[in-house]
Structure 1
Amino acid sequence: MTISRASVLETVLKAYKNHFDIERFNKQDGLIAKAIFHSRTEKFILTKSVKMWGVETNDYVYIYSLPYLNNDHLTACKEQSVQDGLQQIHPHKEHMCSYITAIILADDLDSQMVKDIKSCSFSKNFLLTFHGWAILRVLVINISTSTIIPNRAGRELVDFLTSCLKEAE
């Protein structure tokens, strides 16, 4: 049985829905959804007026849907995700890290793309990491072969997206 990009998209968004704020866009190809997650953890001594530390973590997920992925599309998706993600990050002393995640759903992809996806990277330190850092995670879901191709930083999401693929079938 073959699966469609639309069914994979709905399954991925359903998995993100519980913890992320989701915004959809009315496009057939390109950026079709954005999911945002903010987490803050604090440690107090005796009362909440005496705070020991606080840590903020963010995740900005950009979901793209394309019939065919080539190097130009990958570069455009990466640049759009990084540009928009960096605009949303506001580093300060309690900001630990922000993930910028680009998930690309493609019916098929160019044969040279696997190498390009795996070598895709971006990271930025804020005030020598005293105000945190940002990392780009790129994951491509090849619908025709039901495979997930991550970059180095995106490997931690492969199991999550594999379960989404199985549910979409």
Structure 2
Amino acid sequence: MSLSRDSVLEAVLNSYKSYFDIERVVDQESLVAKACFHSRTEKFVLIKSVKMWGVETNDYVYVYSTSFLDLDEFTICKEKSISEGLMQIHPHNEHMCSYITAIILADAIDPPVISKIKSCKFSKNFLLTFHGWAILRLLVLDINTPAVIANKAGKELTDFLSSCLKEVS
């Protein structure tokens, strides 16, 4: 049974919907959905008015869907995720980290793009990491194979997205 991008997209979004705020995107070319997650942890001494520390973590997910992923399309998706993700981040002294996660669903991938995906990296420090940092996690789901290709930062999500592929098939 062959997988369709729409069914994989629904499986991915269903797996995110418990913890993330999901927004469908209609008028943009290959961007089909955005999701965001915000977490805040605090430590108190005896009462809540005496706070020792607070930490915020965010994850901004951008989901793209394309029939063929070539180098131009890959670059557009990557740059769009970075620019929109950085606009969402508001660093301050309790901001620890923000993940910018780009998930690209593709029916076919141009072979030279695979090495670009695996070697892709982006990170940004805010005020020498005193106000946290941002990291790009990049994952491409090859629908025809089916396989998940990720950069080094995105490797931690490969099992999660592989389970989405298994759920559909």
Instruction: State if a TM-score over 0.5 links the two structures.
Output: yes
Once the two structures are TM-superposed, the CA of residue 100 in structure 1 deviates from its matched residue by 0.2
Query: In the alignment, does 2:100 pair up with 1:103?
Result: no
Unpaired runs of at least 5, structure 2: none
Deviations along 1:11-65, one digit per CA (max 9) or x if unpaired, are 0000000000000012585000000000000000000000010000000000000
Note if contact 1:100-1:137 (Cα within 8 Å) is conserved in structure 2.
yes
Distance 1:121 1:63 in 2: 18
Normalised to the residue count of structure 2, the TM-score between the two structures is: 0.98
2:85 corresponding residue in structure 1: 85
Which amino acid letter does the alignment assign opposite residue 60 of structure 1?
Y
Once the two structures are TM-superposed, the CA of residue 150 in structure 1 deviates from its matched residue by 0.1
Which amino acid letter does the alignment assign opposite residue 93 of structure 2?
K
Distance 1:28 1:163 in 2: 27
Which amino acid letter does the alignment assign opposite residue 65 of structure 1?
S
SS in 1 for 2:81: helix
Which amino acid letter does the alignment assign opposite residue 161 of structure 1?
L
Once the two structures are TM-superposed, the CA of residue 113 in structure 1 deviates from its matched residue by 1.3
Distance 1:51 1:166 in 2: 44
Moved segments of 4+, more than 2 Å: none
| Number of equivalent positions | 169
Distance 1:27 1:10, change over 3 A: farther
Note if contact 1:28-1:65 (Cα within 8 Å) is conserved in structure 2.
no
2:39 corresponding residue in structure 1: 39
2:26 corresponding residue in structure 1: 26
Which amino acid letter does the alignment assign opposite residue 23 of structure 2?
E
Which amino acid letter does the alignment assign opposite residue 12 of structure 2?
V
Deviations along 1:120-145, one digit per CA (max 9) or x if unpaired, are 11100000000000000100000000
Unpaired runs of at least 5, structure 1: none
1:157 corresponding residue in structure 2: 157
Identity of matched residues, %: 67
Note if contact 1:126-1:133 (Cα within 8 Å) is conserved in structure 2.
yes
